[in-house]
Structure 1
Amino acid sequence: MEHTVSPIFDPNLMQNDSMLTFNVTSTNTTTLDFSLIFTPMMDKAIKGILVTILFLTMVSLGCTMEFSKIKSHILKPKGVAIALVAQYFVMPLTAFAIVKAFQMGEMMTIAVLVCGCCPGGNLSNILALAVRGDINLSIVMTFFSTVLALGMMPLLLFIYCQTFTHLQRTVPYVEITISLLVILAPTGIGILIKYYRPQYAKVVTKVGFIIASLGALAIIIVGAKAIGNDLVAMASSPLMAAAVIMPFTGYIFGYAISTIFKLSQRECRTVAVETGCQNTQLCSTILKLSFPSYVVGPLFLFPLMYAVLQIIEGMVLIALFRCYQRLTRKKKGNKRHSYN
C-alpha cells in the first residue's frame, strides 16, 4: 500500500514557525490531529530546559566513572559486548517492528525509532542496584553505549528508514550527529571532575539529579500547558502501545540473550535493565533540537511517556525479583530446618 505523505512536511508550513496544525496520518485508519501552538518564547524555554537536564545528567554519569572500572571491563569485555549487542539490536528492531505493525505516520515513526536507537539511560543504574545486579557493569555499559551512540544512532536510523520511502531524506543525520557530539562532551567533564576532584563528584551527582528532576517536572508542566488535551490523544494512540511494549521487550530479551551466553545471574539482571532502559532525555533533546517545532510538534514528549512506562515496568520486575528471593530464602530455611 502506498504510504501517505503527512501534511507536516508541506513547505508552506515553514512560513510559520510558531503555529502548527499537526497531522500525523498513517496508512490505515489510525489518525491523530494535534492543534499545537508554541510561542517562540515557550519553544526556547523547552529547548533550554531539555539541554540543561541532559547536560547535568551526562556530567553526573561522568562523575560515576572510574578509569579502573573502564580498564577492567575493557580487558574482560564479554559482559559489555553482550549488553551492547542487546542494546543496539533488540531495541531498534523492536521499535521498527512496532511502527510497521501499527503503520504509523512519518513523524510518529521517527519519534519511536529515535527512542529505540538511543543508548541506555541512568535509570538502568538505579534499577541494577534495586535488582542486586552488577552496578559497576551497569555504569560501564551506560557509558560505552552512550559513546557508541555517536556512530550507532545515525547508522541505525539510516538502515531502518530505508524501508520508509518518505523518510529516507527526512531524518537530519548531520543535525543528530552534531547534537550527539555536543551532548557527549559533558560526560568528559564529569570524568575529569571524578579524576581530578573526586571529593566534588558526589555533590555534583546529587545536585545534578535534583536539578534534572525539577527540570523534568517543568517540562511536563510547560508541555501540558502548550498541548493541553492533545496529551490525551497521544496517550490513546499507538505511541502508548509503543511505550508499553518497548521497555518490557528490552527487559525480557536482554535477560534471555545474556543467559544464552552464560553470564552470571547478577550480570543477566544488569543486562536486562540496561537493555530496556533508554536515555529518554537524549531522545527528547534530539527530537527537539534536530527538528523544527512545526515538524516535531508534541512528539518530543513521547520519550517522557516512555520514561514513565519503563519506570513502572521496572518496579514490577523489582517486585517480582524480591518475591522470588523471599520464596527462595524460605525454601532454603525449611530445608535447613528439616535437616536439623
Structure 2
Amino acid sequence: MEFLNVTQDGGEVYGLVDADGMNNVSVSLAAGVLGNLSTALVNVTGNATDNETASDGFLSLTAYKRIKLTKRVTTIIITLSMMVAMGCVITVKETISHLRRPFGIFIGFMCQYGILPLTAFALCHAFRLEATYALGVLIMSCCPGGTTSNILTYWLNGDVSLSICMTTCSTVVAFGMMPLLLFIYTRSWTNESAVIPYTQIIITLVMILVPVVCGVLIRHKSKPTADKISRGLAIIAIIGIGMNLAFDAIMHSHVFTMHPELWAIGFILPTVGAVLSYAVSCVTRMPARQRRTVALETSLQNIGVAFTLIVLSFPADKGRIGAFITIYAALQSSSIYLLVPVGIFFSKKLGYSPVKDENEAGNKEEANGDIGHKADPEEPIIYSSLVKEHDNDLEKNNEEKTERLLNESNI
C-alpha cells in the first residue's frame, strides 16, 4: 500500500490516496523528485489501478515510476558526459590562472548571488504571487549554477575554464549564501527557515569535479583523442536533454497549460539576469568570451538543488512550490535547442569551434609565456591592468637580476 501526500489546490482533488485502491477518484499529484530530476505531475482518473493505464491518456503510477527511473539514469548520463567533455576542452594552465586571478569568478559571483535573487524578489511582488509560488521562484534564483550553463558555454564559444570555475565556486559558496539570501528575501511570505540540502550540494560538486578531472587526464594523454571525445560526448548530452524534455512533457501534462504568470516569470527572470550580468561584464571591460560565460552562469541555475531544498524544507507544499521549478526546468532545457544552433551557425560563419578555440588559446598562452592572458581584440582595461602590472613586475625583476649578474661578472 502506498500513500501520496498532497494538499488541496484550486478545486482539484488532493489528499492521502491509497495507491492500490484509486477507484472513481481524480487525483493530480505533484511530487518533488530528488537529484537533478524535475517535479513530476501525475494524473490518475477513472477506474485506474497501479498496474493499468489510466483513462483519458493519463499515466498510471507504474508508467510514471518507469519514466522517472529512465529520466534519473538519463540525467546522470547527461551530467557525466558533459563534464568529461568540458574536461577534455579546458587547459590546466588557464584554469589555474582563473583561480590565481579570480576577477571573472568574482564578477560572476556578484551577478549570480546579487542580481538574480533581487530580480526574482521584484518579479514576485510585481506579479503578486501567492506565498507558495513566490517561494519556488526565490528558491530557484538563490541556487548555484548548473551544468546547463557549461553546455551552452561550450557551444557558444564561451570561456569553458571560467565556466567550470564559476560553477564549482558558486556551488561551494552556496553553503553560506543560500541560507542568507533565503532568509533575506522570503520574509515577505514566510517565517519558516529553509533546510539547505548540503548533501545534494556535495554530490553536485563531486559530479562536477570528478568527470572534469577525468577529461583533463584524457587531454593530457592525447589532445586529438580528447577533441574527438569532447565533441561526441557534447552531442550525447544534447540528445539526452531532448529525451528529458520529452519525459517532462509526458509527466507534466497539466503544467504546460497552468500558471501563465509563472511561465512569464520563468522567461523574464533568466533573461533579465543574463542581460544585466552581461552589462556588468561590459562595464568592467571583460573579454567577449568571458562576458558570454558570466551571462550564462548567472541565468542558468541548478535544478536538482532547488528540488531537494523544497522536498526537505516544505514537504506539505512541495507540489505548489515546485511548480515554478518544473516550468523553469522546461524553459532552461528548451533554451539549449534554441541557442546551440545559433552557436553552430556562427562557428561555421566565423570559422571557430569550441575545441579549436580553446586549443588555440592555450597554445598562444604557452607561446607568450602569459598563462591565462589571451590576445583579445577587445582587451579589457580593468581586467588586463592586473595582468600587465604583474608582468611588468616580473620583467623589472628579471632586468634587475640580469644587471646584478653583469656587475658581479665585471668585478
Secondary structure of the corresponding residue to residue 119 of structure 1: coil
CA deviation map 1:2-38 (0-9, x unaligned): xxxx846xxx966338685579xxxxxxxxxx99447
Question: 2:17 aligns to what?
Answer: 16
Q: Give, in angstroms, the shift of residue 193 of structure 1.
A: 2.1
1:146–1:184 Cα contact (<8 Å) kept: yes
Contact between 2:156 and 2:343, CA under 8 Å: does it hold in 1? yes
Residue of structure 2 equivalent to 1:163: 188
Contact 1:243 1:309 in 2 (8 A): no
User: In 2, are the aligned partners of 1:102 and 1:238 still within 8 Å (CA)?
Assistant: yes
1:240-262 per-position Cα deviation (integer Å, ceiling 9, x unaligned):
11122112112211111122223
Report deviation, 1:73.
Answer: 1.0
Bigger-Rg structure (1/2): 2
Provide, for residues 157-190 of structure 1, a one-character-per-residue CA deviation record: whole Å limited to 9, x for no partner: 233212213xx3274x14x233222333222321
Instruction: Give the distance between the partners of 1:107 and 1:220, measured in 2 at CA.
Output: 25
Q: 1:149 aligns with which of 143, 156, 174?
A: 174
2-structure distance, mates of 1:125, 1:261: 22
Q: Distance in 2 between matches of 1:54 and 1:284?
A: 14
SS of the residue corresponding to residue 162 of structure 1 reads helix
Which of 278, 289, 294 lines up with 1:271 in the alignment?
294
Secondary structure at the residue paired with 1:228?
Answer: coil
**Distance in 1 between residues matched to 2:310 and 2:229, nearest whole Å:** 27
Report the count of equivalent residues. Answer: 301
Q: State TM-score, norm by structure 2.
A: 0.58
Give the root-mean-square deviation of aligned CA atoms.
Answer: 4.3
State whether structure 2 residue 239 is matched by structure 1 residue 238: no
Give the letter aligned to residue 288 of structure 2. Q
TM-score normalised by length of structure 1: 0.68
Rounded to whole Å, the distance in 2 between the matches of 1:160 and 1:190 is 35
Pair 1:85 & 2:106 matched: no
Instruction: Give the gaps of 5 or more residues in structure 1.
Output: 1-5, 24-33, 326-340
Correspondence for 1:103? 128
The code of the aligned residue for 1:97 comes to A
Where does 1:50-199 land on structure 2 (aligned, <5 Å)? 51-60=72-81, 62-63=83-84, 64-65=86-87, 67-129=92-154, 131-165=156-190, 168-169=191-192, 171=194, 173-174=195-196, 176-194=197-215, 198=219
Structure 2 segments unaligned to the other structure (5+ residues): 1-6, 20-25, 31-40, 45-58, 351-411
Distance 1:134 1:211, change over 3 A: closer
Aligned-pair identity in percent equals 28
Aligned residue for 1:307? 332
Change in 2 beyond 3 A, CA 1:210/1:260: closer
Describe the superposition over 1:170-225 as per-residue Cα deviations: whole angstroms up to 9, x where unpaired: 74x14x23322233322232144235555697787667656655554454444434
Q: 1:253 is matched with which residue?
A: 276
Task: Judge conservation of contact 1:128–1:269 (CA < 8 Å) in 2.
Answer: yes
Alignment check: 8 A CA contact 1:59 1:188 kept: no
More helix as a share of residues: 1
CA pair 76-104 structure 1, distance change in 2 beyond 3 A:
same
RCO greater where, 1 or 2, for CA within 8 Å and sep 6 or more?
Answer: 1
